[in-house]
């Protein structure tokens, strides 16, 4: 965990509202694992005040990549940072995906911006595992398949791929999933993660999900990011420190 | 080598410099130790501790506002027993004064918590958080009720000889009246301010952005209010003041000292730049050197009005 001021190499617009930013940050690149995140201060002024959390999207040598959707002021400022600007990064943060489990096929399930952590995960597991990626969105403009392998898509409005949600698409492809030892990795909005969790319980799949929460610090000191624990109803887990990746059985969504 | 004296006293409590870390913004010290050398700091104040562990409020607990943030954490904490067993061993390794902040729902609970913690020698002082609902007395916050603040001060005073700081709520008409009661009932110092009550609503769903509806406003947005409260106390009551509210840099520290603070606490800034408090110590020293200030404590209440 460190704070570094790193130069932006380039910022590329990949969709209407979506950007990929390449940042030269050897210190972060060396240590960060898929599923971990960075808390980025986009401005030295007090507005916006807090850092903004982003998943690590990819790492290539000394460069790190984040992929983000322009939502409000913070991401707007970030999107305007071109080569030569600096970003103030606090990270790596949180627990990443567990890649040591016993499985043969990695199944990635992404909803909307939930695709963000999968390029790096793909890079890390593609040589040793088979990969199937399921990518969902409201409509075809929300499908983010950048750097993903073996992609199946679904849209709520049927404008591309399967017409329905991503978990329905998984259910439809159940035969592909029961053939071998699989592990499911999910990232996306909470409602999607909840139905993914239920799906995995029903068919007894091992599943890790990357969760989201409002955050102030990102490293465990503010208690701002609680998530209900399945094991202990008397205390919350913290998304930033105990997560953001959890086994889907360990949290209540 | 410089010969600036950065040390300050808050009543009986001696600190090597005026930079303290505020309750609820440092946990129990371990995470922040990765960014700051705790041994360099004036003091650290624990998250509010209660007699029993508290789960805290459901999400959403925080929301950003212009130059500030609202929080309604709900005093989530491990409780005094776990604190003593699991958190103190880490803090013992450091030579930084540890101030235990205590929260409770009854006067008796304040007393009981203090009594239990008092024998732990690592704890150098107590800070009482009166911004919590008084369950036995209709749920009004202790901090808004001058009699309750007086009662808590005198009852806790009776069970500890360690420096006793009462952390005042700004959500009152005249904060100096509360500071006076603290002094009259045997408190050693006051800290001011805790967060200001605020809220934020989503204009599409028409729902509050945080679960608890109201939250506590902190960050640079509250600094002018905090300065005014510190000044009010300083002009009316002869009691050491710890200034808190929106400090973002060393200049803010100096400003708080000028209006009457003996020391300060850094809160929200720890979330954004956890290395900043340590850095400020050097910057304060530089300020003193270039302004002919030999003892930083000379700045306290040096306002010219
Ligand atoms: C662990 C984690 C990883 C994330 N990874 C990515 C990613 O890879 N790509 C991406 O586009 N987005 C990601 N997000 C969401 C991203 O942090 C928000 O979109 C961003 O903070 C919005 O900031 P803003 O100023 O543009 O929006 P505003 O809406 O103006 O932000 C206002 C406040 O709300 C907070 N906020 C708003 N939306 C979210 C959200 N969805 N989650 C948490 N806080 C939010 C902001 O941090 C800020 O404090 C991630 C969130 C978390 C918690
Ligand atoms: C997330 C958060 C949690 C806090 N928790 C506590 C607490 O447990 N007890 C307490 O006395 N004050 C608590 N505070 C108040 C701070 O200690 C401080 O008084 C306040 O935030 C104003 O200072 P700042 O503007 O520098 O943050 C909390 C503040 C924040 C932002
Ligand atoms: S964001 Fe501060 S504890 Fe998780």
* Chain A contact residues (CB < 8 Å to B): 1-3, 41, 46-51, 213-228, 234-236, 241
With 90 as the cut, is the pLDDT of residue B76 above it?
yes
What is the average pLDDT score of chain A? 95
Q: pLDDT tens across B230-286, in order? A: 999 999 999 999 999 999 999 999 999 999 999 999 999 999 999 999 999 999 999
Test A3 with B63 for CB contact under 8 angstroms: no
Contacts of B272 in chain A (CB under 8 A): 41, 49-51
Q: Does B27 touch chain A (CB under 8 A)?
A: yes
Q: Are A46 and B220 in contact (CB under 8 A)?
A: yes
- Per-residue HEC secondary structure of chain B comes to CCCCECCEEECCEEECCCEEECCCCCCCCCCHHHCCCHHHCCEEECCCECCCCECCCCCCCEEEECCEEEECCCCCECHHHHHHHHHHHHHHCCCCCEEEEECCCCHHHHHHHHHHHHCCCCEEEEEEECCCECHHHCCCEHHHCHHHHHHHHHHHHCCCCCCEEEECCCCCCCHHHHHHHHHHCCCCEEEECCCEEEECECCCCCCECCCCCEEEEECHHHHHHHHHHHHHHHHHCCCCEEEECCCCCHHHHHHHHHCCCCEEEECCHHHHCCCHHHHHHHHHHHHHHHCCCCEHHHHCCCCCC
Q: Does the beta carbon of A52 lie inside 6 Å of ligand 1?
A: yes
**Span A72-76, average pLDDT:** 97
Q: Does the beta carbon of A132 lie inside 6 Å of ligand 3?
A: no
Nearest CB among A3, A46, A226 relative to B61 is that of A226
Q: For residue A52, report the distance from its CA to the centre of ligand 1, in Å.
A: 6
Q: Does the beta carbon of A113 lie inside 6 Å of ligand 1?
A: yes
For residue A186, what pLDDT is reported? 97
- Provide the shortest C-alpha distance from residue A197 to chain B (in Å): 20
Q: pLDDT tens across B94-139, in order? A: 999 999 999 999 999 999 999 999 999 999 999 999 998 878 877 7
For residue B2, what pLDDT is reported? 60
Contacts of A216 in chain B (CB under 8 A): 62, 69, 71, 268, 271
- Per-residue HEC secondary structure of A5-28 comes to EEEEEEEEECCCCEEEEEEECHHH
With 90 as the cut, is the pLDDT of residue A180 above it?
no
Domains of chain B, first to last? 8-56+75-195+220-299 (3.20.20.70)
Nearest CB among A2, A213, A217 relative to B271 is that of A217
User: Other CB atoms closer than 10 Å to residue B165's CB: what's the count?
Assistant: 25
Q: What is the DSSP string of A20-58?
A: EEEEE-HHHHHH--TT-EEEEE--SSSSS-S-EEEE--E
pTM of the predicted model as reported, rounded to 2 decimal places = 0.97
- Provide the shortest C-alpha distance from residue B274 to chain A (in Å): 9
Atom number of ligand 3 nearest to Cα A220: 3
Atom number of ligand 1 nearest to Cα A75: 26
**Span B156-180, average pLDDT:** 97
Q: pLDDT tens across B11-65, in order? A: 999 999 999 999 999 999 989 999 999 999 999 999 999 999 999 999 999 999 9
Per the rule left: phi > 0, alpha: psi between -120 and 50, beta: everything else, A12 is: beta
d(CA B164, CA B20): 16
Q: CB within 8 A of A171, min separation 6: which ones?
A: A199
Q: Does the beta carbon of B194 lie inside 6 Å of ligand 2?
A: yes
Q: pLDDT tens across A112-157, in order? A: 999 999 999 999 999 999 999 999 999 999 999 999 999 999 999 9
Q: Does the beta carbon of B187 lie inside 6 Å of ligand 2?
A: no
With 90 as the cut, is the pLDDT of residue A59 above it?
yes
Q: Does the beta carbon of A74 lie inside 6 Å of ligand 1?
A: yes
Domains of chain A, first to last? 2-93 (2.40.30.10), 105-250 (3.40.50.80)
Nearest Cα neighbor of A207 from A190, A189, A187 is A187
Alpha-carbon distance values, A18 to A11, A133, B214, B283 (Å): 10, 20, 34, 40
Atom number of ligand 1 nearest to Cα A42: 25
Q: pLDDT tens across A189-224, in order? A: 999 999 999 999 999 999 999 999 999 999 999 999
Q: For residue A222, report the distance from its CA to the centre of ligand 3, in Å.
A: 5
Specify which residues B102 forms β-bridges with.
B49, B128
Q: Does the beta carbon of A47 lie inside 6 Å of ligand 1?
A: no
Contacts of B55 in chain A (CB under 8 A): 234-236
For residue B53, what pLDDT is reported? 96
Closest ligand to the CA of B267: 2
Closest ligand to the CA of B209: 1
- Provide the shortest C-alpha distance from residue B76 to chain A (in Å): 7
Residue of A nearest to B221 (CA): A46
Q: What is the DSSP string of A157-188?
A: TSSSSEES-HHHHHHHTHHHHHSS-EEEEEES
Atom number of ligand 1 nearest to Cα A240: 1
For residue B135, what pLDDT is reported? 80
* Torsion, CA B125, CA B131, CA B136, CA B140, rounded to 10: 160
Active-site residues of B: which are they? Answer: 132
With 60 as the cut, is the pLDDT of residue B197 above it?
yes
Closest ligand to the CA of A212: 1
Residue of A53, A69, A94, A245 with the most ligand 1 atoms within 8 Å of its CB, for mutation: A53
Q: Does the beta carbon of A217 lie inside 6 Å of ligand 3?
A: yes
- Provide the shortest C-alpha distance from residue A132 to chain B (in Å): 33
For residue B132, what pLDDT is reported? 86
Count how many pairs of residues, chain A against chain B, have C-beta atoms within 8 Å: 95
With both helix axes pointing from N to C terminus, report the angle between B175-184 and B223-236 in degrees, rounded to the nearest 10.
50
Residue of B142, B220, B243, B267 with the most ligand 2 atoms within 8 Å of its CB, for mutation: B267
Q: For residue B103, report the distance from its CA to the centre of ligand 2, in Å.
A: 12
Q: For residue A93, report the distance from its CA to the centre of ligand 2, in Å.
A: 23
Contacts of B58 in chain A (CB under 8 A): 226, 228
């Amino acid at each position: 965990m460190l704070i570094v001021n790193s130069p932006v190499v380039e910022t590329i617009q990949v969709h209407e509202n979506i950007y990929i930013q390449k940042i030269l940050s050897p210190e972060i690149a060396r240590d960060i694992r898929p599923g971990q995140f960075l808390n980025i201060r986009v401005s030295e002024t007090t507005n916006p005040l807090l850092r903004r959390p982003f998943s690590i999207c990819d790492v290539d040598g000394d460069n790190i990549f984040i992929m983000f959707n322009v939502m409000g002021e913070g991401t707007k400022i970030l999107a305007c940072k071109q080569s030569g600007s600096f970003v103030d990064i606090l990270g790596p943060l949180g627990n990443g995906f567990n890649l040591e489990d016993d499985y043969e096929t990695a199944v990635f399930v992404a909803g909307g911006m939930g695709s963000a952590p999968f390029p790096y995960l793909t890079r890390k597991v593609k040589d040793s595992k088979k990969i199937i990626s399921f990518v969902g969105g409201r409509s075809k403009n929300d499908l983010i398949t950048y750097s993903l392998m073996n992609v199946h898509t679904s849209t709520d409005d049927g404008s591309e791929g399967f017409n329905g949600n991503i978990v329905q698409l998984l259910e439809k492809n159940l035969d592909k999933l029961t053939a071998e030892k699989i592990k499911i990795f999910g990232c996306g909005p909470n409602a999607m993660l909840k139905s993914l969790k239920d799906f995995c319980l029903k068919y007894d799949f091992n599943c890790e999900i990357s969760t989201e929460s409002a955050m102030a610090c990102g490293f465990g000191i503010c208690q701002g990011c609680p998530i209900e624990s399945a094991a202990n109803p008397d205390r919350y887990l913290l998304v930033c420190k105990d997560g953001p990746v959890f086994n889907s059985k360990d949290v209540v969504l | 080598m410089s010969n600036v004296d950065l040390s300050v006293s808050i009543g009986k409590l001696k600190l090597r410099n005026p930079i303290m870390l505020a309750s609820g913004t440092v946990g129990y010290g371990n995470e922040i130790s990765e960014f700051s050398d705790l041994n360099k700091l004036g003091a650290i104040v624990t998250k509010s501790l209660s007699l029993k562990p508290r789960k805290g409020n459901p999400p959403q607990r925080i929301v950003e506002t212009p130059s500030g943030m609202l929080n309604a954490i709900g005093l989530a904490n491990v409780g005094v027993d776990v604190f003593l067993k699991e958190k103190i061993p880490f803090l013992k390794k450091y030579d930084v004064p540890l101030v235990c902040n205590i929260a409770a729902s009854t006067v008796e609970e304040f007393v009981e918590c203090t009594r239990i913690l008092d024998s732990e020698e690592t704890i150098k002082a107590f800070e009482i958080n009166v911004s919590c609902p008084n369950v036995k007395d209709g749920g009004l916050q202790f901090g808004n009720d001058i009699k309750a603040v007086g009662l808590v001060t005198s009852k806790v005073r009776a069970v500890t000889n360690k420096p006793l700081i009462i952390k005042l709520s700004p959500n009152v008409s005249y904060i100096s009246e509360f500071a006076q009661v603290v002094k009259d009932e045997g408190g050693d110092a006051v800290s001011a301010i805790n967060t200001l009550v605020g809220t934020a609503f989503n204009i599409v769903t028409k729902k509050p952005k945080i679960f608890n509806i109201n939250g506590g406003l902190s960050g640079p947005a509250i600094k002018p209010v905090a300065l005014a409260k510190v000044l009010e106390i300083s002009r009316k009551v002869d009691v050491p003041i710890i200034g808190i509210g929106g400090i973002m840099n060393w200049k803010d520290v100096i400003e708080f000292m000028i209006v009457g603070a003996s020391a300060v606490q850094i809160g929200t800034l720890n979330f954004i730049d956890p290395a900043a408090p340590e850095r400020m110590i050097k910057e304060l020293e530089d300020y003193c050197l270039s302004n002919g200030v030999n003892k930083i404590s000379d700045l306290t209440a040096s306002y010219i009005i």
